[in-house]
Chains A and B, each alone.
Chain A
């Protein structure tokens, strides 16, 4: 019962999360194309698009819900692209604003416009494409002849609109003959707003380098220890090592990483887990404990973001947008860092340094290394690193109770929950998140029964 209750609780937490508007995008796209005189046929393929850096820049410029609304609306940072099988495609923001449009060129696009009047005719198409046509002004018109049809492209400037000061809206309208065939909106951000986000991202990328140096040193030290252990005929848990290596291989393959990358990681972590002393490796109870602790860590991470925002800082609220959006991709990318990093930080490092520093001393050494690996860009930069430190401390606590396996479970659940909003709303993605939890809850129940 406790397990089922936990599952229901988690499902309630993540239900409704994810990128909104997917279910209505196809209908809205059909409506838009109909309005320009084209009836799309066949099924619609809806895929997410967007730029999280622009979304974060908008949040930075307009703190709070206003920035998030702009990112999903006029900022155009979070969008859907709907492509119809019979031709025609439409881009929509998450709020349903028309962002782009392209319809097939009809065999008879109608009589060409009288060139001196082309600008006026292009302006007359605008009310069908933007909600505030009065705010837009025609900047320039291009015309060209293509296979007997005259094409017209009008470039409009829309001022700032509801965007922050210094931002600029642009749009292009394309007409062939007298048929509207294309429309595209663009946003030119204020350099300073985007620069803060880009600069912080690059700085965090640089700060990641010493953490990777730390990870490399731990792996080398464990390699030397492993050789000496093997020579001295100490017990080696090949089954545990093989199991985690297979899990990493599967996650890496699904995440689309190069074979050399996930193969090397699987080999490295598999060997580490095989060599870890049993008390540091953890067991079945670790999975259950870890799953619950992972939820707690996710709650702390989210609460920390609110705290930083409340204190006048900036931490992105809009999600990081992954390059792919499959449900299995979510599961794989969430569990891969858990399976690779946690055995090194929470298993190998305490195993190596425990004789010198004691378990807690050794485990706390992993905190600065882990905290520099995946922080989000923030203002001030210390805020995001501080948040990561808190999460790492939670993971250290999990490892103390449930070993490296427990930390893997906690990290997997944490990553799944935090990454969920970057993927579309819907049951396949919810299921991918819950799959990790199911493993933990089932193991916890089994452990209690034992």
Chain B
């Protein structure tokens, strides 16, 4: 198939960007979306042009590096990561608009690559259980009900790709934050820090120029790992609980 791509090109954070049109021909339906971009890039390199920068690594939907807005939808038309999106989802002659994630908390690095270090800072504000090496009790000393452990796992599968932020009309990172709050809050190990964790993480997400959540649900609908809106409800619940318990939302 032949496609027309309109791709956001921006040299670096400080420069202005714009959409540039490219044509790719002989695209196989079995190619992944990133492989299609590889083909374009090889052509650009041979023509002496600057190839399009985009983040990617594992190419199997687990590292969370990749992420593009394709025709206005985060990660494109299927609910998966861009690296797992295959060209069979498109048809000959399609025109595709390809843009980077757009959010105050995700400044553009170059072209389609953005800086998602804000996510790391949200984790570093409280998204952990303090268990220094060597202090762990025997693993079987605390049973965890399977139901909770499964729910914790579901939340823990978030790959930190940022599609939730990209899709949210408010540019909110609430689904990402909520996934971690839920994962740790559902396990007995996570209880001691449960209150302070949610307060600190939400405070950090606000400080990183992400929006607040107004329960729109766009995030969960594009999340490649299907993180559910329930996690946001759980975050809200925990935060109110923490406030009732006398917590102050500072870091």
Co-assembled chains A and B: no
